[in-house]
Amino acid sequence: MDFFAGRGCHGALVLGTTGEGPSFSPKERLDLMRAAIEIHNSRPTFHLLAGTGTPSLEESIDLTRAAFDLGYDAVVVLPPYYYRKASEDGLFEWFSNVMERAVPADGRLIAYHIPPFSGVPISIQLLARLKDRFAERFAGVKDSSADANHAQRLGEYFGNDLLILNGNDSLFSLALRSNASGCITALATLCSPLLRQVWDLYLAGESDAKLQSNLNSFREIMDSSPPIPAFVKEILAHEHHFPKWTVRPPLLPLPMQTVDHALQAWDQLRNV
């Protein structure tokens, strides 16, 4: 967390997709949330969000309540991703239960739209219903659809009334131009200074196509070496001398040949 804060990040999402959140038990998630919140001792303005969505409503409620009890700023909640044909009414009921039973008046919940992984899309209509019902506590959406048209539609529909966080680095500049409020991405673990430059230029009313092109190139290298959590851990060890952490099944470490090719491409791009 301190590493991220020192590289221009405004905050971090603990137990998201890159952090393999669904691979951890509820007890392990609580242990990790307790460990991460310690960053507030040295960096009280560094925002912390916790991934608390699971297919179980009760488990999601318990984890969400625990995150706010620990002092997290917000939670990022996946839809219940087992029943992929659940109706919009059913999803609205599910999220409403989490909101009513676990999110305090000063808490904020962000829905996690990542249909390539969850298989359960969160429609614009569902977002609007939740915002109407829970005006303050339902804060926004993390859009990891990797769909440029969807990013634009979100901005057109909600304007600045909903916190929209881009989840795909290649779409960051487009998302910002479409009223996004920032990003939470896998590449932010490795290229946060570059993402911060794009963000700062946007706030200044400027843009830099070359910076976005560099982001696209880094993202292409990462996407070509799945699984992303394993790739991220390899780069953190190689470039920033963190321990070479492993991934949890069903994910597997990258084959050595893949690692060598990825590191070579990464180093070449970094030195351009």
- Judge whether 18 counts as a catalytic residue: no
Give the SS3 label for residue 13.
Answer: strand
Asked if the peptide bond before residue 229 counts as cis, ω within 30 degrees of 0, the response is no
Strands (E) in 116-227, as ranges, are: 138-143, 163-166, 182-183
| Cβ–Cβ < 8 Å for 142, 195 | no
Among residues 17, 18, 54, 189, which one is catalytic?
A: 17
Among residues 54, 112, 131, 185, which one is catalytic?
A: 112
Torsion, Cα of 13, 234, 218, 223 (10° steps): -80
Among residues 131, 142, 185, 233, which one is catalytic?
A: 142
- Judge whether 52 counts as a catalytic residue: no
- Judge whether 142 counts as a catalytic residue: yes
| Distance in angstroms (rounded) separating the CA atoms of residues 224 and 61 | 36
Written as one string, the DSSP assignment of 188-217 is HHHHHHHHHHHHHHHHTT---HHHHHHHHH
- Judge whether 258 counts as a catalytic residue: no
Catalytically active residues, by annotation: 17, 82, 112, 142
